[in-house]
Structure 1
Amino acid sequence: MATVLQTGPDRGMAARYLSAALQIHKQAEIARHLGVDARTVRRWVVEQSVPAHYAFGLQRLLPMEFPFPDNASFTFIDLFAGIGGIRMAFEDLGGHCVFTSEWDGYAQKTYAENYPGGHQINGDITQVAASDIPDHDVLLAGFPCQPFSIAGVSKKNALGRAHGFACETQGTLFFDVARIIEEKRPRAFLLENVKNLVSHDKGRTFDVIRRTLSDELGYHVQYRVIDGAHFVPQHRERIIIVGFREPTSFDFDALPMPAKGGHTMQEILHKVDGTEPNLPWDGDRFFNHSSCSVNEKYTLTDKLWAYLQGYAEKHRAKGNGFGFGLVTQDSVARTLSARYYKDGSEILVYQGESKNPRRLTPRECARLMGFPDTFRIPVSDTRAYKQFGNSVVVGVMAHVAKLMQPMLTANNREPELPLRYRSL
């Protein structure tokens, strides 16, 4: 009989997946599937703990949807889901996703590949009635940033009529977030957006969002701009907006973040010393394991490299800072953008004076965003670059999710004493 981890609602998702996998697979089979030593799996069983980044590899061993909804610590929905970076963080804490919406078909393909089974992925959220969405504890959304029209609001003000968020936000995708919150009244939400949301449209966009969530919908809202460089070797500042239906002790400062500079490109670049993991789902698509080298197609052509150098020199002469970003193993990269597929100029890997630099491979982009190597990339390089450039830093989401977790567990619905984690 297989040894089964004693996993309860508060266990990590990876441990729960292992517990289920052990009921139908031998430890040696699991080890081969994950590319680890069998002794590693035995240690996980003994310690009843599994590193979070193995969750998705373990999930693929299961024949049906997991986790079991009745055993979840909390439920959540994933709006504007992209490729599931926010979901990953909350699922690892024991949450169960009950609804997903993502309009882009290629992102849907990547999402479905990495979250097999379960509910269908809904497309255009504007066409989904809020009443048709399952009840949930947490709403997650990386919604697009759009300007709000002030014409209707100004007219109602002039006429002395009351107006609400539907007047101010109708026609924007934030309206769909607001109408779902109004209908379903989740215990909490997490919204993610670009740093410039605060200053967008001279500050009016963020003001409407804040007033809608706090004044109109009655949630207790906090926000913080967090740089992904605390968790990965990439400067990537994003605003995180957290809200709770009831007063809580939530505090962005309760859990210290790792210091910047602790992560460098060496962590995410393919290893040419023979230690690069051989991922069966990647094969030699990005890295040639027989020659221990990155595939040549990622090295810039002479023509493109000459163009980028000329472009940078032209702007330097004008006193501008535009140009390519060259990184080494000791660097922290610029922000990976959705346009990276065009020329890769914001993050080019130095390959020595005698060779042109190269783009990151999609696998390296996945690592740069904090996705584990078990994450599958079923789309073309161009689509993959767009998807990772539009995604979230998983470590940032995991950090905030951990801060939110005490307020989300089933036995912690009432306001509690201030929470403080001890610094190590």
Structure 2
Amino acid sequence: MNTRQELVHQYLDEALKYYSKAELANRLGSDQGTIRRWAARETEPKPYVVDSLKQLLLPFGPQEKRETEFRFIDLFAGIGGIRKAFERVGGECVFTSEWDTYAQKTYAANFRHDSHALNGDITQVNAFDIPDHDVLLAGFPCQPFSIAGVSKKNALGRAHGFEDETQGTLFFDVARILQVKRPRAFLLENVKNLMSHDKGRTFDVIRRTLSEELGYHIHCKIIDAQHFVPQHRERIVIVGFREPTDFNWDLLALPPKGNTTIKDILHKTDGTEPWNEHDGNKYFDHETGQVNPKYTLTPKLWQYLQNYAVKHREKGNGFGFGLVGPNSIARTLSARYYKDGSEVLVDQGVGKNPRRLTPRECARLMGLDDSFVIPVSDTRAYKQFGNSVVMPVFHAVAEIMKPRIVAEQFEPVIKDMWESNGSGVDLLESPSPYQTHRKESVS
């Protein structure tokens, strides 16, 4: 094998880390069988294929060289929406954790130059092995908080531990990392209903854990992404600082709602839709200037959704599909969008069934520009975008957090707060209450 052929295979092997054989075949104008034979070294690709592979592996635009001003970790990272926001204000990601293998694929395709590994299940990571960092970021899953068994203690006024209140939840893992690493600040994200879950008791556990037990100064706000994108999507943002700061939500600049509408994220059928090397004609046919017809609802599905809406309307319920036009604001995109697309259906005019958003349009609806790579199937992409965050929301929050993060050089305070409990017991040598609880809850 000559040097040129070796180079082709190197690029091919690298490309197959980010694309399936079907996706690679589509982008190279080939077929899956050919890609399989190339990968198995049964046949040799033409030398010119290396140029196409190089383009697929290069990030869009020039690689910016920038000095980072603070370090952060990305927990429950999903596809990296919060990370992108904090990188834009000068942060450097030094640790990532995401358990879903498909989300990992999308994350890896968009952050290829990481010097750290992409960790899986955070419950299996020792907090002491996580690098020092200035900011902890976590869009932790909203799982019910278990407070069973503590009502008697509450009634008796007896103190009960954090571990009893949060058994079976992943918020526990955020707390144990905050306890050990003591970063200068954190940002947590969750659904709006977190505040009202279990009559407010769940959120009270979170608040007391962060502020009273871990000593952080916290600030909470529900933000609607409609300020930045054409989507009604309310999320609670919890910001915390290790030391007192002048942070105030009044500093957050929110554009007026309605500045952007659905027409701003849809594929353009007037000949101005930009060519995307990674997408090719997968979502939008540039020759015909039309969205791929597979996204248009079948007559059977469209009739079902209409009948479903009528049935619930007669019962006085609000269930039904969400039809949007150019000047509309979409409902909240959910992880179930792949099933029927009912929450956001694009009106295509009289005589034509509506259609789903394409994955590229979903990415735009989450505030991600067209350089964002979508290396997974449509079903996986819909789930990922439905579970993701609207990036510009967190960019705005990151901008007002940053001055409070970089005001002084980060200095770990583990020894000041956790080395000794005043009785000669070294807490760093003893199991943390959070770590002890994790062992008990897993067993």
Q: TM-score, normalised by structure 2?
A: 0.77
Instruction: Say yes or no: does 1:342 pair with 2:345.
Output: no
Task: Rate the CA distance shift 1:205–1:157 in 2: closer, same or farther, 3 A.
Answer: closer
Quick check: 262-271 or 154-163, which moved more? 154-163
Question: What residue number does 2:109 align with?
Answer: 113
Residues 25-424 of structure 1 aligned to structure 2 (within 5 Å): 57-58=60-61, 71-118=67-114, 119-154=116-151, 162-409=159-406, 411=408
Aligned partner of residue 72 in structure 1, secondary structure: coil
Quick check: 81-90 or 249-258, which moved more? 249-258
Aligned partner of residue 150 in structure 2, secondary structure: helix
Q: Distance in 1 between matches of 2:285 and 2:293?
A: 9
Q: Distance in 1 between matches of 2:212 and 2:70?
A: 26
**Letter matched to residue 110 of structure 2:** N
Q: Which runs of 5+ in 1 are unaligned?
A: 1-32, 35-54, 415-424
Quick check: 161-170 or 107-116, which moved more? 161-170
Task: Rate the CA distance shift 1:153–1:294 in 2: closer, same or farther, 3 A.
Answer: same
Instruction: Quote the sequence identity (%).
Output: 72
1:112-144 deviation line (CA, Å, top 9, x unaligned)? 000003211111111111111111000000001
Task: Rate the CA distance shift 1:213–1:318 in 2: closer, same or farther, 3 A.
Answer: same
1:199-241 deviation line (CA, Å, top 9, x unaligned)? 0111111010000001000000010000000000000000000
Q: Distance in 1 between matches of 2:151 and 2:252?
A: 43
Question: What residue number does 2:48 align with?
Answer: none
Quote how far apart the aligned CAs of 1:287 are. Answer: 0.1
Q: Distance in 2 between matches of 1:109 and 1:225?
A: 30
Q: Which runs of 5+ in 2 are unaligned?
A: 1-54, 412-443
Aligned partner of residue 398 in structure 1, secondary structure: helix
Task: Rate the CA distance shift 1:163–1:58 in 2: closer, same or farther, 3 A.
Answer: farther
Aligned partner of residue 209 in structure 1, secondary structure: helix
Task: Rate the CA distance shift 1:409–1:322 in 2: closer, same or farther, 3 A.
Answer: same
**Letter matched to residue 60 of structure 2:** G
Indicate conservation of the 8 Å contact 1:407/1:413, yes or no: no
Q: TM-score, normalised by structure 1?
A: 0.80
Indicate conservation of the 8 Å contact 2:185/2:241, yes or no: yes
Indicate conservation of the 8 Å contact 1:371/1:394, yes or no: yes
1:270-319 deviation line (CA, Å, top 9, x unaligned)? 00000000001100000000000000000000000010111111111122
Q: Distance in 1 between matches of 2:157 and 2:347?
A: 63
Indicate conservation of the 8 Å contact 1:406/1:412, yes or no: no
Aligned partner of residue 57 in structure 1, secondary structure: coil
Task: Rate the CA distance shift 1:159–1:411 in 2: closer, same or farther, 3 A.
Answer: closer
Question: What residue number does 1:45 align with?
Answer: none
Q: Distance in 2 between matches of 1:393 and 1:331?
A: 18
Indicate conservation of the 8 Å contact 2:147/2:166, yes or no: no
Q: What RMSD in Å do the two structures reach over aligned CA positions? A: 2.2
Alignment length (residue pairs): 357
Indicate conservation of the 8 Å contact 1:73/1:410, yes or no: no
Quick check: 167-176 or 218-227, which moved more? 167-176
Quote how far apart the aligned CAs of 1:167 are. Answer: 2.9
Indicate conservation of the 8 Å contact 2:253/2:396, yes or no: no
Aligned partner of residue 177 in structure 1, secondary structure: helix
Quote how far apart the aligned CAs of 1:171 are. Answer: 2.2
Q: Distance in 1 between matches of 2:292 and 2:146?
A: 49
**Letter matched to residue 78 of structure 1:** D
**Greater Rg by CA:** 2
